[in-house]
């Protein structure tokens, strides 16, 4: 049985009960220079990494391809996500943000899940039920047995028929059916329904989180996760990130992000040619052994992220990654 996230490692010199923790209590404010063992000590007990896209503008669709190259070997939660912000076109006011992507989560069959959830000014955003069942009972996370080595396209776009006519559109709010049953759904007046979709781009090897033949992860069909209701009608500030709740000395888990792009209201495609990476600092409880490298592919930039690989940059220092198509 894996230790719960946030557990301590008595033998780790930089753990909360180690020498650095004792010195912080004695002198105050002294933080360790690295953390390569034990669990992260951040407020949410995770170590995180963010890749901020250098992509200004306002969009109606954002997408990126994610390939998970290694299966985690613990029951701890792993979360890899595409994040978008919401903005009101008329006022230019920011209206919160949301994230979507696969999870390695023990509460779901085969540890496979996919999430679409976020927050606005008044708290967690509401939305439709998931198109798939959820063993965890969490409305944001549904069962999705993704597989190692398969590239998955993550997209966020306006739900069909939402923006132009809103709740007055024919059939809007009509009864719909999914794996969880029949229900009525429609965003409140003034809100936009944003749909997150995951699409396998190749069959891939039969390894990783197990999936029965014919399940969503074994087809090349787009799978709607759910619709999320946000007051903003445009997407801004796209990025990708990961949160790893495992020990810093857990076996490495590599993922590759590729072909990040966005579509504006005119239908023009904007491809990402540079990004900035930022690691959660050790002082904030993160691990110091996460690394991100960048390569150029025919589809644009590709980033390879690995945990438990000695980082080459100082924790928390932004590193500008550039490449040309």
DSSP string, 223-274: EEEEEEEES-SEEEEEEEEEEE-S-TTSPP-EEEEEEEEEE-TT--EEE--E
Q: Is the dihedral of CA 114, 120, 124, 130 positive or negative?
A: negative
Q: What is the mean pLDDT of residues 237-258?
A: 92
Rounded CA-CA distance 306/253 in Å is 6
Q: Is the dihedral of CA 71, 243, 218, 138 positive or negative?
A: positive
Rounded CA-CA distance 312/250 in Å is 19
Taking CB atoms within 8 Å and a gap of at least 24, the contacts of 9-14 are 9/37, 9/38, 9/39, 9/247, 11/37, 12/37, 12/38, 14/38, 14/282
Predicted pLDDT at 168: 38
Q: What is the mean pLDDT of residues 118-136?
A: 88
Q: What is the mean pLDDT of residues 95-101?
A: 95
**Chain-centre distance of CA 153, in angstroms?**
12
Predicted pLDDT at 218: 56
Q: What is the mean pLDDT of residues 207-225?
A: 60
Nearest Cα neighbor of 142 from 193, 202, 102 is 102
What is the pTM assigned to this prediction?
0.79
Q: What is the mean pLDDT of residues 269-283?
A: 88
Give me the torsion for CA of 70, 141, 100, 72, rounded to 10°. Answer: -10
Q: Which residue has the higher pLDDT, 108 or 321?
A: 108
At 11, the pLDDT band (50, 70, 90 cuts) reads very low
Predicted pLDDT at 31: 55
Nearest Cα neighbor of 84 from 265, 238, 262, 196 is 238
Predicted pLDDT at 64: 96
Q: In the predicted model, is pLDDT for residue 181 greater than 90?
A: no
Average pLDDT over the chain, rounded to whole?
Answer: 77
Predicted pLDDT at 193: 92
Neighbours of 221 (CB within 10 A): 8
**Chain-centre distance of CA 126, in angstroms?**
18
φ and ψ of 217, to 5 deg: -75, -10
φ and ψ of 128, to 5 deg: -75, 170
C-alpha triplet 57, 84, 93: angle, nearest 5°? 60
């Amino acid at each position: 049985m894996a230790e719960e996230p946030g557990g301590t490692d008595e033998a780790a010199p930089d753990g909360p009960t180690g020498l650095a923790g004792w010195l912080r209590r004695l002198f105050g404010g002294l933080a360790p220079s690295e953390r390569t063992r034990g669990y992260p000590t951040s407020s949410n007990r995770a170590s995180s990494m963010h890749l901020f896209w250098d992509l200004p503008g306002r969009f109606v669709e954002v997408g990126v391809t994610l390939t998970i190259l290694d299966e985690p070997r613990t029951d701890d939660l792993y979360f890899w996500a595409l994040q978008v912000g919401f903005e009101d076109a008329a006022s230019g006011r920011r209206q919160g943000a949301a994230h979507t992507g696969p999870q390695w989560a023990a509460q779901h069959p085969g540890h496979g899940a996919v999430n679409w959830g976020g927050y606005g000014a008044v708290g967690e955003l509401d939305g439709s039920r998931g198109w798939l069942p959820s063993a965890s009972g969490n409305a944001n996370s549904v069962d999705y047995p993704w597989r190692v080595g398969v590239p998955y396209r993550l997209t966020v776009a306006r739900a069909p028929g939402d923006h132009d006519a809103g709740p007055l559109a024919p059939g809007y709010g009509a009864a719909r059916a999914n794996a969880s049953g029949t229900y009525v759904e429609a965003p409140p007046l003034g809100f936009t329904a944003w749909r997150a979709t995951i699409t396998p781009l190749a069959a891939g090897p039969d390894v990783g989180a197990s999936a029965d033949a014919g399940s969503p992860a074994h087809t090349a069909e787009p799978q709607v996760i759910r619709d999320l209701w946000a007051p903003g009608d445009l997407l801004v500030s796209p990025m990708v990130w990961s949160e790893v709740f495992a020990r810093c000395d857990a076996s490495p888990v590599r993922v590759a992000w590729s072909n990040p792009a966005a579509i504006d209201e005119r239908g023009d495609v904007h491809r990402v040619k540079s990004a900035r990476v930022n690691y959660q600092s050790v002082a904030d409880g993160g691990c110091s052994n996460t690394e991100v490298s960048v390569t150029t592919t025919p589809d644009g930039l590709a980033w390879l992220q690995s945990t438990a690989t000695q980082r080459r940059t100082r924790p928390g220092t932004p590193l500008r990654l550039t490449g040309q198509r």
